[in-house]
Amino acid sequence: MTALEELLRVPNRTENPYIKEWKGNGGRVIGFTCSYVPEEVIHASGLLPYRIEARDCRDTDLADVYMHRFNCTYARCILQEGLSNRYDFLDGICLLNGCEQIRRLYEIWNAERKTDYMYMVTIPHSIYDEGLAWYRDELFNFKEKLTSDFAVRCSKQDLSESIKVYNETRRLIMDLYKLRQSENVPISGSDALRIVLSAYIMPKETYNMLLREALGELRSREGKDEYKVRLLVGGSAVDSPELFEIIESLGGLIVADTLCFGSRQFDHMVAEDGDPLDALARTYYSHNPCPRMMNEYKNRLKFTEDAARAASVDGVILQKIVFCDNHAVDSTMLADDLEAKGIPTLVMERDHMLTDTGRLRTRVEAFMERIARR
């Protein structure tokens, strides 16, 4: 099996062999849910970061006991997976006040699952000097609690080494994104997403080695030139290739994204000099800001427009999960402004579980007919 084939398989496996090996060797795993949680702190402590997702969730009957149906299905699906014992392999969980839905998820999980280690990192809702100082203190407290509870070490040298490992991951993933900007794209959007999702659920050192080899394989491919439109996808969290597969089955080719599981997580480097905790705080606090961050709309618009033009897209699809308030407002504003800049944009509402695929296909087909290359 080639490195590319291995990376494409990892997110689809019912049992993750890398987690099994890690746990079998006595290693411990810490789950997290947000791109504002610096994985480097967990990694530097000798623990394995694992980004919690719910890509296989098809029902929320257990979660609905605790979270009403006007809560977003992403948060409810994560809770469902936790209540279904899927995440019993986790030795601890770190959540963040990214939105009220996830904050409530923390409270319920803490009460019902009794995971040994639970931590909530809080981050201000706007970017300013005092907010950065607050966030830096939060990261310090997170590190101290982590090392105390698990009896591990996390020195400045450990953090600096982890930053180097993660910066290598960022460089490699952004090389993958640059390959997708070419006219003849060597990989579908759904497969590219699988590769990126693999980064969250396996040791980074192994991931970097595999991706380095996989990029060599991709560079030797001829590339795809039979597609109707080139697309960028943004909006709510996408932790499964299923939505991308629907879009690409209709003739679209996804060549870029602005997702928190995608480019927003990796399109920035952490400084490798100076105090490592300061560097992590500065980078994560201000990186490609999420809609939760107030007064940052212009930066999000620029980030989306720059990504769309760099990949020469024909249109943008902004998908938003039902009851995701942050992206509901942001996507509407982005669509208006992108259209005014000559970038056709579709705003599409969906559930995390993608139960209404017929409606989604109709919306996407109509959009592609409007923007298809002649």
For residue 133, give the amino acid letter.
Answer: A
Q: For every one of its 374 residues, what pLDDT tens digit does the chain have, with 9 covering 90 and above?
A: 899 999 999 988 778 999 999 999 999 999 999 999 999 999 999 999 999 999 889 899 999 999 988 889 999 999 999 999 999 999 999 999 988 889 999 999 999 987 889 999 999 999 999 999 999 999 999 999 999 999 999 999 999 999 999 999 999 999 999 999 998 999 999 999 999 999 999 999 999 999 999 999 999 998 877 899 999 999 999 999 999 999 999 999 999 999 999 999 999 999 999 999 999 999 999 988 899 999 999 999 999 999 999 999 999 999 999 999 889 899 999 999 999 999 999 999 999 988 889 999 999 999 999 998 64
R_g over Cα of the chain:
20
With 0-12 / 13-18 / 19 or more C-beta atoms within 10 angstroms meaning exposed / middle / buried, residue 130 is exposed
Rounded Cα–Cα distance for residues 79 and 57 (Å)? 10
What pLDDT is attached to residue 372? 85
Q: Provide the token pair at 152.
A: 């591990």
Q: Are 127 and 150 in contact (CB under 8 A)?
A: no
What pLDDT is attached to residue 100? 87
The answer to whether the pTM exceeds 0.85 is yes
Rounded Cα–Cα distance for residues 239 and 237 (Å)? 6
What pLDDT is attached to residue 15? 85
What pLDDT is attached to residue 270? 97
Count other C-beta atoms under 10 Å from residue 351's C-beta: 17
What pLDDT is attached to residue 225? 77
Kindly compute the dihedral angle of the four CA atoms of residues 71, 75, 239, 255, in this order, to the nearest 10 degrees: 40
**37 φ/ψ angles, rounded to the nearest 5 degrees:** -90, 115
What pLDDT is attached to residue 232? 98
What pLDDT is attached to residue 288? 80
Exposure string over 308-340, b if 16+ CB within 10 A, otherwise e: beebebbbbbbbbbbbbebbbebbeebbebbee
Q: Are 229 and 340 in contact (CB under 8 A)?
A: no
What pLDDT is attached to residue 369? 94
What pLDDT is attached to residue 94? 95
